[in-house]
């Protein structure tokens, strides 16, 4: 199978792959739209479900407000909540936003949205499942019990109570306390809990449905993306193969053209030499040098050389006829030479076209090299981005570790400060002891002095007391030394605490520096990513240049084909002139043959 057939097959395959790529792109777009729709459905479902829950909560709150205050405004709002939910009143604009809390607080009501539909109808339009509606039916059934109790409380405020026909036709004294007790009683709270239980099941079913829809849409999108990328890579491979085969085919055609050109040049050179030799012989014959013989070659000019040699041998008697015929031969030879020159010029044009083709191929090669270099540079930039991200992660890890060390240091500081407080308490106790001992010492010293002075000899006992006083004074001094020692300990502990706090500050500073480094690393990652995008843009530009070079290559090949056709036409014309030259040579032979040849000596 030749290269042209391979090129055709790969081109057809490329067209098929591009068609599949376009089809897959449409599938990918549809999958993305489906995912967006599923996400919007999830948001709408949550919004409607939250509205149901909020509506029941607003209903309960407004009933309580009316029971407490007796304000008719709360009763109107209570009825409006139920009527909007049941589709009897127009839904306010942006009803899913904060609404009744604002209206109850005195804010003006919003304008209508133009939609008068029940919440159940909106849920049907949103595509809620059977399980969800089953849970909603339970919610509605339980909500009726709430409404029944709330109506009893509301009508009790008005002085109307249930009669035998189960209507509020029995009149009585308004009892607001009964209404409040009813709305805060066990029965009402149990009824509300029974309403919320199926609502919880409703939320569960809704979350499962929307989650399943989103997961299915995401799965379809991932499959479409995988197929699209695979087809895109296949298209790139086929484009590369077709380009490679086209370059190989162009190279083969160029080599074939070059071989044909060289063969034509050799034939033209041989023909020119033969013609020049004949012309030289004819020139010498025209100068009456009958000893000249034209060289005989194996080409078509050899016949002419034979005729000229025969003419030289018999030219004496038929000089006029030979001259006339020789003129025809000279003219035919001139035409042959002219055609040969045209062939040479055509060959020169082909050589120029070939040179242009080679230059185009060289430029295409340079472009391919640029593409490869840009791809390599992109890989390097991606590697740098990965390394920078890794460094940033390490920096963040160091920051976390430093923060942990700071926490431990602060805890140690807290312990030391506590110990410092305990030592301070000890100092206070010792100081109190010293004060007590000092006071007692002072009193004893006075008593001892007075007794010793009064008693005389009998004051020896007081001397003993005086000695005890001295010992007590000594004890006071020892206590004072202990105080000094404790004070020094406190100072040491205080210094250690200060050092610990300083260490904490240094670690906090170090942690801040680490965080700054992490930010710088992340910024560097962003810059490298921008470089990658720019390099991909350069790759696209280089691809456009390659496309232009391919077009130039095709144009050069077309010029070579045209030049080849011109060469063929010139060769055919040369053959016709050669035939004419042969006819003239035959006429020359016929003209000479009418004469008798001289006898050999």
How far apart (Å, rounded) are the C-alpha atoms in residues 313 and 293?
9
**φ, ψ dihedrals at 118, nearest 5°:** -75, 160
Residue 206's closest CA among 267, 135, 287? 135
User: Which segments of 156-298 are extended strands (E)?
Assistant: 160-161, 170-171
Average pLDDT of the residues in 545-555? 65
How many CB atoms are closer than 10 A to CB 531? 17
Q: Tens digits of per-residue pLDDT, 127-151?
A: 787 888 778 777 877 777 788 888 8
Residue in the structure block whose two tokens are 């607003």: 58
Q: What share of the chain is helix, strand, coil (3-state, %, to 5)?
A: 85, 0, 10
Instruction: Assign 3-class secondary structure to 386-419.
Output: HHHHHHHHHHHHHHHHHHHHHHHHHHHHHHHHHH
DSSP conformation class of 112: B
Residues 361, 552: Cα–Cα separation, whole Å: 9
Enumerate residues 6+ apart whose C-beta is below 8 A from 258: 354
Mean pLDDT of the chain: 74
355-374 pLDDT, tens digit each = 676 676 567 667 756 756 76
- Whole-angstrom CA distances from 164 to 156, 170, 188, 534 are 16, 9, 22, 85
The better pLDDT of the pair 293, 216 is held by 216
The mean pLDDT of 159-166, rounded to a whole number, is: 82
pLDDT tops 80 at residue 405: no
Round the CA-based radius of gyration of the chain to a whole number and report it.
58
pLDDT band (50, 70, 90) for residue 460: low
Q: Does domain 381-558 have CATH number 1.10.3470?
A: no
Sign of CA dihedral 536, 540, 545, 551: positive
**What mean pLDDT do residues 499-510 have?**
67
Confidence of residue 344 (pLDDT cuts 50, 70, 90): low
The stretch 92-113 carries a mean pLDDT of 80
| CA separation for the pair 322, 315 (Å, rounded) | 7
CA gap 410, 506 in Å, rounded: 12
Strand-pairing partners, residue 161, are 170
Task: Tell me how many degrees the CA angle 209-51-55 measures, rounded to the nearest 5.
Answer: 135
Cβ atoms of 93 and 115 closer than 8 Å: no
Find tokens 């210094």 and name the residue: 495
Dihedral pair phi/psi, residue 217, rounded to 5°: -65, -40
Q: Exposed, middle or buried by CB within 10 Å (0-12, 13-18, 19+), for 286? A: exposed
Check pLDDT > 70 for residue 389. no
Q: How many CB atoms lie within 10 A of CB 557?
A: 20
Q: Measured between alpha carbons, how far is 337 from 409 in angstroms, rounded to an integer?
A: 107
31 vs 417, which has greater pLDDT? 31
- Say whether pLDDT at 580 is over 70: yes
598 — pLDDT class (breaks 50, 70, 90): low
At residue 87, the pLDDT reads 84
444 within 8 A of 469, measured Cβ to Cβ: yes
CA dihedral 444, 449, 453, 454 (to 10 degrees): -20
pLDDT of residue 320: 60
pLDDT per position as a tens digit, 174-202: 888 888 888 888 888 888 888 888 878 78
Dihedrals phi, psi of 184, to nearest 5 degrees: -115, 10
pLDDT band at 526 (very low <50, low <70, confident <90, very high): low
- 441, 469 contact by CB (below 8 A): yes
Q: Would you state the structure tokens that stand for residue 198, as one six-digit string?
A: 């199926």
Of residues 462 and 191, more confidently modeled: 191
How does DSSP assign 416-458, residue by residue? HHHHHHHHHHHHHHHHHHHHHHHHHHHHHHHHHHHHHHHHGGG
**Residue where the block lists tokens 């050589």:** 351
Q: How confident is the model at residue 543 (pLDDT cuts 50, 70, 90)?
A: low
- 104 versus 217: the higher-pLDDT residue is 217
Calpha distance 32→34 (Å, rounded):
5
Q: What value does the mean pLDDT take over residues 392-399? A: 66
Give the predicted TM-score (pTM) of the model.
0.34
Side-chain half-sphere exposure of 468, counting CA atoms within 13 A:
13
**pLDDT value, residue 304:** 73
> Cα(112)–Cα(243) distance, rounded to whole angstroms?
66
Of 13-27, 115-129, 502-516, the one with minimum mean pLDDT is 502-516
Model pLDDT, residue 217: 85
- The C-alpha angle with vertex 127 and arms to 122 and 129, in degrees rounded to 5, equals 115
Residue with tokens 């298209």: 235
Contact assessment for residue 396 and residue 518, using Cβ atoms and an 8 Å cutoff = yes
41 CB-near residues (< 8 Å, 6+ apart): 126, 127, 210, 213
| pLDDT confidence of residue 490 | 62
- The mean per-residue pLDDT over the stretch 389-405 comes to 68
Specify which residues 160 forms β-bridges with.
171
List beta partners, residue 230.
Answer: none
CA 356 – CA 447 distance, rounded (Å):
134
């Amino acid at each position: 199978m030749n290269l042209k057939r391979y090129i055709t097959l790969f081109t057809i395959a490329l067209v098929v792959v591009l068609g599949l790529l376009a089809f897959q792109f449409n599938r990918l777009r549809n999958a993305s739209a489906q995912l967006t729709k599923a996400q919007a459905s999830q948001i709408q479902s949550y919004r409607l479900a939250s509205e149901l829950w909020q509506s029941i909560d607003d209903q309960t709150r407004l009933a309580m407000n009316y029971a407490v205050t007796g304000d008719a405004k709360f009763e109107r709002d209570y009825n409006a909540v139920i009527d909007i939910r049941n589709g009897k009143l127009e839904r306010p604009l942006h009803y899913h936003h904060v609404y009744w809390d604002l209206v109850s607080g005195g804010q003006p009501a919003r304008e209508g949205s133009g939609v008068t539909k029940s919440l159940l109808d909106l849920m049907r339009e949103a595509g809620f499942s059977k399980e969800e509606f089953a849970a909603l039916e339970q919610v509605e059934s339980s909500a009726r019990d709430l409404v029944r109790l709330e109506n009893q409380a509301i009508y009790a405020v008005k002085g109307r109570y249930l009669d035998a026909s189960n209507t509020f036709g029995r009149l009585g004294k308004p009892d607001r306390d009964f209404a409040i007790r009813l709305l805060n009683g066990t029965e009402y709270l149990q009824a509300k809990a029974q309403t919320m239980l199926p609502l919880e099941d409703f939320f569960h079913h809704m979350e499962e449905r929307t989650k399943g829809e989103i997961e299915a849409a995401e799965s379809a999108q991932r499959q479409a993306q995988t197929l699209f990328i695979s087809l895109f890579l296949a298209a790139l491979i086929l484009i590369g193969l077709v380009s490679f085969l086209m370059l190989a085919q162009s190279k083969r055609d160029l080599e074939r053209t070059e071989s044909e050109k060289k063969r034509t040049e050799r034939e033209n050179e041989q023909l020119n030499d033969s013609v020049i030799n004949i012309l030289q012989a004819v020139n010498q014959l025209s100068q009456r040098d009958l000893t000249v013989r034209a060289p005989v070659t194996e080409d078509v000019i050899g016949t002419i050389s034979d005729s000229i040699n025969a003419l030289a041998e018999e030219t004496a008697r038929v000089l006029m006829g030979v001259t006339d015929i020789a003129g025809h031969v000279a003219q035919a030879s001139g035409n042959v030479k002219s055609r040969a020159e045209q062939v040479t010029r055509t060959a020169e044009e082909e050589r120029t076209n070939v040179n242009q083709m080679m230059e185009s191929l060289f430029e295409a090669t340079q472009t391919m090299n640029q593409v490869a270099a840009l791809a390599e540079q992109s890989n390097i930039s991606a590697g740098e981005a990965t390394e920078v991200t890794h460094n940033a992660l390490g920096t963040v890890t160091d920051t976390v570790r430093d923060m942990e060390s700071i926490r431990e240091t602060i805890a140690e500081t807290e312990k030391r400060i506590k110990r410092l407080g305990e030592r301070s308490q000890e100092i206070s106790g010792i100081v109190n002891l010293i004060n007590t001992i000092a006071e007692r010492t002072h009193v004893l010293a006075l008593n001892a002095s007075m007794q010793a002075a009064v008693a005389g000899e009998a004051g020896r006992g007081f001397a003993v007391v005086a000695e005890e006083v001295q010992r007590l004074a000594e004890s006071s001094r020892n206590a004072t030394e202990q105080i000094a020692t404790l004070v020094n300990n406190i100072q040491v502990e205080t210094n250690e605490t200060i050092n610990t706090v300083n260490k904490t500050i240094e670690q906090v500073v170090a942690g801040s520096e680490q965080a700054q480094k992490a930010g710088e690393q992340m910024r560097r990652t962003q810059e490298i990513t921008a470089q990658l995008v720019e390099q991909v843009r350069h790759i696209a530009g280089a691809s456009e240049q390659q496309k232009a070079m391919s077009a130039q290559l095709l144009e050069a090949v077309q010029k070579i084909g045209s030049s080849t056709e011109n060469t063929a036409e010139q060769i055919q014309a040369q053959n016709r002139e050669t035939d004419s030259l042969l006819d003239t040579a035959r006429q020359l032979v016929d003209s000479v043959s009418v004469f008798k040849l001289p006898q050999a000596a």
